[in-house]
């Protein structure tokens, strides 16, 4: 995108698409397209189980005022048993993903953690605080905004200290 094309504010549904694109753009199994006329994000996924996991995790739609953005995962139709299993499958081979883990907190309670690599990701946004109008964030923040899962914590991996 040229700098001259980066004028004006972007719509929140376009930003939603760009968040999804930033989170999955390096995944070799996923191709993302945006249909501007239908406000639809389409994820073309290689591997039925990965497509199924993404279908169950991603919201089918997100409303921004009077505009409703839709998310389609192609293909999709099988079920998985655990949320952590869904996240592991959805992010399999994605270089942004570190690991996912369920941690027991007591006899019948626990917490689910989805951990992403410690890397800053940038994408074009109407962030006026950046001279190039880029948004800089972590994968965990994108996942938190996109998935919005209750009971799932999105985190950033930390390197083990040397010494």
- Average pLDDT score over residue span 10-14: 92
- Average pLDDT score over residue span 74-82: 57
- Alpha-carbon distances of 33 from 30, 91, 125, 160, rounded to whole Å: 10, 18, 18, 37
Q: Is 44 exposed, middle or buried (0-12, 13-18, 19+ CB in 10 A)?
A: middle
The whole-model pTM stands at 0.62
- Lowest mean per-residue pLDDT among 13-17, 74-78, 87-91: 74-78
Q: Is residue 134 within 8 Å of 127, Cβ to Cβ?
A: yes
Q: pLDDT tier at 113 (50, 70, 90 boundaries)?
A: very high
pLDDT of the residue at 76: 46
pLDDT > 70 fraction of the chain, expressed in percent and rounded: 87
pLDDT of the residue at 48: 87
């Amino acid at each position: 995108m040229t700098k001259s094309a980066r004028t004006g504010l972007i719509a929140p549904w376009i930003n939603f698409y760009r968040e999804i694109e930033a989170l999955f753009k390096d995944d070799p199994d996923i191709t993302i397209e945006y249909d501007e006329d239908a406000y639809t994000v389409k994820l073309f996924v290689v591997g039925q189980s990965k497509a199924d996991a993404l279908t169950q995790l991603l919201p089918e739609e997100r409303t921004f005022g009077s505009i409703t953005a839709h998310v389609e995962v192609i293909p999709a139709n099988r079920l998985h048993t655990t949320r952590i299993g869904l996240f592991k499958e959805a992010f399999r081979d994605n270089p942004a993903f570190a690991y996912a883990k369920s941690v027991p907190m007591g006899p019948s309670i626990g917490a689910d953690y989805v951990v992403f690599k410690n890397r800053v990701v940038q994408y074009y946004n109407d962030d006026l605080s950046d001279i190039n109008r880029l948004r800089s964030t972590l994968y965990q923040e994108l996942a938190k905004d996109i998935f919005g899962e209750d009971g799932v914590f999105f985190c950033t991996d930390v390197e083990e200290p040397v010494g």
